[in-house]
A = this chain, B = another copy of it.
């Protein structure tokens, strides 16, 4: 009991949304991506044009493999903890209140890793533009967004994964 009345939609406490460490990555790329847990806040609110995830990265985890989108913009805001942002140009440490944006087609592949001893929490926003492709410079993987809204993964040479 906190004495606070519960919020009603369209407002809510992110804690009411269940966390999942599901990843759409195919094998052998799954395990490295399961040390981050997402709450799909945008989906919970019924949004369809963009996604808003509250992502908790545990120590040693990553937000994703380093990647760049062809058609979709991405934005992150650090809520809690400390993350290392890795891009084509190297590394930077981001603390709470800091942010980063990745315009569609910029080619700057990025990920966030947690090298600290505490959980880190990020708000991660991305739109759902069609015909998106995702490039992964550090692993032999490539993704194309299919008309059904799901990504199809392959090797860089086009073999399905």
Taking Cβ atoms with an 8 Å cutoff, the residues of A that contact B are 4-5, 7-8, 10-14, 41-42, 44-50, 52, 72-73, 75, 77, 79, 85, 87, 89, 92, 94-95, 97-104, 106, 108, 110, 123, 125, 127, 129
- Among B7, B72, B73, B85, the residue within 8 A (CB) of A94 is B7
Q: Are B11 and A103 in contact (CB under 8 A)?
A: no
With a cutoff of 8 Å between Cβ atoms, the chain B residues found around residue A92 in the complex are: 5, 7-8, 11
Question: Which residue of B13, B44, B85, B127 is within 8 Å of A50 (Cβ)?
Answer: B127
**How far is A47 from B55 in the complex, measured between Cα atoms in Å?**
21
8 CB contacts below 8 A, A to B, read A10-B110, A12-B99, A42-B75, A45-B103, A49-B72, A49-B104, A77-B123, A123-B123
Distance in Å: Cβ of A90 to nearest Cβ of chain B: 9
Interface centre among A11, A89, A108 (most CB of B within 10 A): A11
